[in-house]
């Protein structure tokens, strides 16, 4: 049942992924897409998640520890438990060393694969992270059903799976290397051969034309050879389009919640289609078909990042005025700072980095928006924020305040910088 092959196990023993130095935990914390507790609460628990001593999270395929460290760091004050599961002892050692540097004692460590979960009692976890794992397994559908069986009745899963369109140039390169490399050769020898092939690719080669998209993975100074092995020499690798993602979720009796991460906007037709007549015609398609068209139009989504839930309709909504706005990621805790920067009559431009990409947005210079930002603290309900603005700015209509909240939220939420939570 979804047992890793010896080749895959050997790969991760020699090249634990991703490449990490445990001592770096002394100077930085790496956030992982999907594992911000505000995001999990917003998308999967209607903004009302309250992790406590009974909260359990599973990282299925923990690798060298990015997700398990980020979750455990966020949960260390509430005595919740994060369970690490990975078949590679080498990867586990790195993850455990990282946890020691951070003095985290809320992690359970297990060296095993997803198939081992089939023998565990079901409905054990509030949240499961399974990032970059299923597409390397011989039976992803069965593996997802196994994970779903470990969820509590209202539990949710974050998945990252490779995107077929964005990795179009990768698979011919993998095929080429299988032809060139001796199948029985040691992995280190295949790495040397691959480096030589990459250095000699003609300008017409499809992968070379797309190589900028993979430069970070291939950069030896950043990842050693780990990124190259994972990208081009992986023992088992497949990718999905949007329709296949939805079918995968349905096969495990899970509800598709939403996409997250830097490409969230790229699943929306409005991001790519400016012709009003064409957009109107495409908007008659069902939601999955619209996502499929947007994915094909954009053509660069290499990672699908999304939530699945056991329950329907799990997202927090702006229309529920008992929710509050909380800033996150690059803007976490900066609501007062941004409020002070807003000057009436002067548009404010703010730049920030998310997942290595630079974004810039412009805020209107209004007194009402200045006041609203000061109240985006995660504790002031939208109802109270609007009432406060109406009292202090009696000439401002409630409809305008609602529209300002909506416009700012729709600007920041898709890139993971704003969420809704129930105070």
Give the tens place of pLDDT for each residue, 21-43.
999 999 999 999 999 999 999 99
CB 11 within 8 A of CB 226: no
pLDDT attached to residue 239:
98
Q: 188-237, pLDDT tens digit by residue?
A: 999 999 999 999 999 999 999 999 999 999 999 999 999 999 999 998 99
Helix axes 187-199, 170-180, angle to 10 degrees: 120
Give pTM, 2 decimals. 0.94
Q: Are strands 303-309 and 151-162 parallel, antiparallel or unpaired?
A: antiparallel
Pairing of strands 81-86, 255-259: unpaired
- 81/357 Cα distance (integer angstroms): 32
Which is it for the CA torsion 196, 63, 12, 125, positive or negative? negative
Is residue 44 within a helix (H) or strand (E), and if so which, with residue range?
Answer: helix 37-44
Residue 355 pLDDT level (bands cut at 50, 70, 90): low
| 369-410 pLDDT tens trace | 999 999 999 999 999 999 999 999 999 999 999 999 999 999
> CA 180, CA 186: separation in Å to the nearest integer?
14
Q: How far apart are CA 76 and CA 421, in angstroms?
A: 20
- What is the spatial distance between Cα 242 and Cα 246, in angstroms, rounded to a whole number? 6
Cα(131)–Cα(157) distance, integer angstroms = 10
Q: What is the DSSP letter of 163?
A: B
Could you tell me the CA-to-CA distances from 290 to 149, 240, 247, 264 in Å, in that order?
A: 30, 16, 15, 13
pLDDT band, very low/low/confident/very high, at 2 (cuts 50, 70, 90): very low
Q: Which two tokens stand for residue 336?
A: 């007062």
Residue 47 has pLDDT above 70, yes or no: yes
How far is residue 280 CA from its own chain's centroid?
A: 30
CA distances from 224 to 15, 218, 221, 407 (A): 9, 8, 6, 43
The three-class DSSP label of residue 387 is helix
Lookup result for tokens 């068209």: 293
- 121 pLDDT above the threshold of 90: no
- Split at pLDDT 50, 70, 90, the class of 5 is confident
Cα separation, 110 vs 107, in Å, equals 10
**CA 106 – CA 120 distance, rounded (Å):** 20
Environment class of 53 (CB within 10 Å of its CB; exposed 0-12, middle 13-18, buried 19+): exposed
Tell me the pLDDT tens digit for each residue of 307-328.
999 999 999 999 999 999 999 9
Instruction: Please report where in the chains the tokens 């007062």 appear, as a residue.
Output: 336
Q: Of the ranges 19-28, 45-54, 92-101, 134-143, which one carries the lowest mean pLDDT score?
A: 45-54
**Do residues 405 and 372 make contact, with C-beta atoms less than 8 angstroms apart?**
yes
CA dist., res. 237 & res. 134, Å (int): 9
Answer yes or no: is pLDDT of 123 > 90.
no
Radius of gyration in angstroms for the set of CA atoms belonging to the chain, rounded to a whole number: 23
Domains (range + CATH), the chain = 6-165+239-263+300-309 (3.40.50.150), 170-232 (no CATH), 324-421 (no CATH)
DSSP state of 377: B
**Helix H segments across 59-169?**
66-75, 89-102, 140-148
- HSE toward the beta carbon, residue 268, CA cutoff 13 A: 12
Instruction: Please state the rounded mean pLDDT for residues 239-259.
Output: 98
Tell me: pLDDT of 332 over 60: yes
Reply yes or no on whether the pLDDT at 139 is more than 80.
Answer: yes
Taking only the tens place, the pLDDT of each residue in 58-105 is 999 999 999 999 999 999 999 899 999 999 999 999 999 999 999 999
pLDDT band at 301 (very low <50, low <70, confident <90, very high): very high
Cα dist from 338 to 233, 318, 358, 364, 382, whole Å: 46, 21, 18, 12, 18
Angle at CA of residue 206, ends 202 and 209, nearest 5°? 75
Question: How many residues does this entry show for the chain?
Answer: 423
The string of pLDDT tens digits covering residues 368-379 is 999 999 999 999
User: pLDDT at position 120, please?
Assistant: 75
- Whether cis (ω within 30° of 0) applies to the bond prior to 18 is yes
Is the separation of the CB atoms in 238 and 141 below 8 Å?
no
What are the DSSP calls for 198-254, one per residue? HHT--TT-HHHHTGGGGHHHH-HHHHTTHHHHHHHS-SS---B-HHHHHHHHHHTT-
Q: How many CA atoms lie within 13 A of 423 on its CB side?
A: 18
Rounded Cα gap, residues 15 and 357, in angstroms: 27
- Among 342, 329, 415, which residue's Cα sits nearest to residue 375? 342
């Amino acid at each position: 049942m979804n047992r890793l092959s010896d080749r895959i196990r050997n790969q991760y023993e020699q090249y634990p992924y991703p490449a990490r130095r445990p001592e770096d935990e002394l100077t930085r914390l790496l956030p992982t897409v999907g594992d911000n507790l505000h995001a999990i609460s917003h998308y999967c628990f209607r903004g009302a998640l309250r992790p406590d001593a009974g909260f359990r999270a599973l990282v299925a395929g923990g690798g060298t520890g990015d997700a398990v460290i980020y979750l455990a760091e966020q949960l260390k004050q509430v005595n919740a438990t994060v369970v690490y599961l990975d078949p590679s002892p080498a990867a586990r050692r790195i993850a455990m060393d990282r946890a020691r540097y951070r003095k985290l004692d809320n992690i359970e460590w297990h060296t095993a694969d997803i198939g081992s979960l089939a023998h565990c009692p079901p409905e054990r976890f509030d949240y499961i992270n399974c990032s970059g794992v299923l597409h390397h397994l011989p039976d992803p559908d069965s593996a997802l059903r196994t994970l779903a069986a470990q969820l509590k009745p209202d539990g949710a899963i974050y998945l990252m799976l490779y995107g077929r369109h964005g990795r179009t140039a990768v698979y011919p390169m993998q095929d080429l290397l299988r032809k060139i490399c001796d199948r029985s050769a040691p992995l280190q020898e295949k790495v040397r051969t691959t480096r030589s092939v990459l250095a000699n690719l003609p300008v017409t080669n499809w992968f070379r034309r797309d190589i900028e998209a993979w430069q970070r993975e291939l950069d030896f100074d950043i990842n050693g050879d780990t990124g190259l092995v994972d990208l081009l020499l992986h023992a088992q690798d497949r990718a999905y389009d949007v329709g296949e993602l939805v079918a995968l979720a349905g096969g495990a009796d899970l509800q598709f919640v939403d996409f997250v991460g830097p490409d969230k906007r790229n699943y929306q037709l409005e991001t790519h289609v400016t012709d009003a007549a064409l957009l109107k015609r495409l908007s008659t398609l069902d939601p999955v078909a619209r996502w499929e068209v947007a994915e094909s139009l954009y053509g660069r989504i290499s990672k699908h990042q999304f939530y699945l839930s056991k329950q329907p309709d799990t997202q927090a909504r702006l229309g529920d005025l008992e929710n509050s706005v909380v800033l996150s990621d690059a803007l976490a805790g900066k609501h007062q700072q941004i409020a002070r920067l807003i000057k009436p009559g002067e548009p404010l431009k703010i730049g920030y980095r998310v997942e290595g990409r630079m974004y810039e947005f412009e805020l209107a210079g209004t007194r009402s928006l200045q006041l609203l930002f000061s109240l985006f603290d995660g504790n002031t309900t939208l109802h109270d924020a609007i009432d406060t603005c109406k009292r202090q700015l009696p000439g401002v209509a409630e409809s305008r305040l609602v529209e300002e909240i909506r416009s700012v939220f729709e600007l920041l939420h898709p890139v993971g910088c704003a969420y809704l939570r129930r105070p």
